[in-house]
Copies of this chain bind each other. A is one copy, B any other.
Amino acid sequence: MSLNIGVIGTGAIGQDHTRRINQVLAGARVVAVNDVNRANAEKCVADYAPGATIFDDPNALIADAGIDAVLVCSWGQTHEEYVLATIAAGKPCFCEKPLATTAEGARRIVDAEVAAGKRLVQVGFMRRYDPGYRALKRAVDSQTGAPLMVHAAHRNPRVGNAYVTPMAIHDTLIHEIDVLRWLLDDDYVSAQVLFPRKSPHAHEALRDPQVVILQTAKGVVIDVEIFVNSRYGYDIQCEVVGEEGIARLPEPMGIQTRLNATLGQPILMDWKDRFIDSYDYELTDFIRAASAGTAAGPTAWDGYVAAVTSDACVAAQEAEGTTIAIDLPARPAMYG
């Protein structure tokens, strides 16, 4: 009665999901893995999935009769192909961000899932499973009145040289793009990007910080600060201003100390520590739904909308200060 899972891509996140499924969560087992680098796959099996089969061909893994559901954790460029194949096989599929590297690719997945006639895809937008965001959503839905504004920030202490300006959208803002839509139950209609004076800690090819202003169909104005060389910490802030009051995302749990003339509380430095519980909860949700032959949580449509919105935000970066419209086609009924 346990769900048999195949994992494609056994890099950091693929290994971690394998460990999670086999050692932490009830209801499923990773029984097969694939990686472009076979040594990676072997290590993953040795460490976290003793007895699992190693497939050299990911499509063979997807097609294998012993596999009930697939996790796509490979390089982003390959997501579209493997997700489409998993849908074609009629199996539930959990796909890490991004669903596809282009909006058109994400749209093809949406179309395939709609053609399949039922939900099979969950996208790894884990913030929707964070207990803080979930509590915030409850407060927004029940206490503070209809939302009017959101003030948010996404700060990292530093980034490497490979991180260039558009990545602030594709790799960083992507999380706010998805979670704020979900939080507000709304869609974006425009994006604008402003660039403050650049931090001296940002390297040559990166404009940092940035302020992104999103407006929604319901008229909410959202400002998101992106600052990936903040030095002081990895810090996610979100404040929703409603008609009757305000609700704020909690700080991560930390010990308050009185030491050296300071009343202090630690701020995380590593993003991996911030939403660590959420990975457990998103996979629990996937296992539950996949065991019933379907998928839950963030949809392929959510992945498509994130891709369209990201493209608009990058266009807004390039046209600094200009408001770029975001046009979405009609939402298929399946994603009601």
Partner-B contacts on A (CB < 8 A): 21-27, 131-132, 135-136, 138-139, 143-144, 146, 148-149, 151, 153, 157, 194-201, 209, 211, 213, 215, 218-221, 223, 225, 227, 230-233, 235, 241, 243-251, 253-269, 284, 321, 323
Q: Bound state CA distance, A262 and B261, in angstroms?
A: 13
Across the interface, which residues of B come within 8 angstroms of A157, CB to CB? 261
Copies per complex of this chain: 4
| Chain B residue nearest in CB terms to A148 | B196
B225–A245 CB distance below 8 A: no
Interface centre among A135, A138, A144, A196 (most CB of B within 10 A): A196
Give Cα distance in the complex from A209 to B150, angstroms.
12
Are A241 and B257 closer than 8 Å at their CB atoms?
no
- Asked if B241 and A263 make an inter-chain contact with CB atoms under 8 angstroms apart, the answer reads no
Residues of B within 8 A of A219 (CB): 196-198
Q: Is the CB of B256 within 8 A of A262?
A: no
Shortest Cβ gap from A287 to chain B (Å): 10
Q: Which residues does chain B contribute within 8 Å of A284, judged by CB atoms?
A: 24
Given the known interface contacts A221-B196, A267-B258, the answer about A201 and B247 at a Cβ–Cβ threshold of 8 Å is no
Establish whether residues B257 and A266, one from each chain, have CB atoms under 8 Å apart when the complex forms.
Answer: no
Question: Which residues of chain B are near A258, meaning CB under 8 Å?
Answer: 232-233, 235, 245-246, 267
Listed A/B pairs (20) with beta-carbon separation below 8 Å: A23-B27, A136-B255, A139-B257, A144-B257, A148-B197, A149-B211, A151-B153, A194-B215, A194-B221, A196-B220, A211-B223, A231-B244, A232-B261, A232-B262, A235-B258, A248-B255, A261-B266, A262-B265, A262-B266, A263-B267
Q: A135 contacts which chain B residues (CB < 8 A)?
A: 253-255
Chain B positions within 8 Å of A267 at CB level = 258, 261-263
Nearest 7 pairs of A and B residues by beta carbon: A197-B219, A245-B259, A264-B264, A196-B221, A246-B258, A232-B245, A139-B255
Give Cα distance in the complex from A227 to B21, angstroms: 42
Is the pair A148, B199 in contact by a Cβ cutoff of 8 Å?
A: yes
Q: Are A250 and B257 touching (Cβ within 8 A)?
A: no
Contacts of A255 in B (CB 8 A): 132, 135-136, 138-139, 247-250
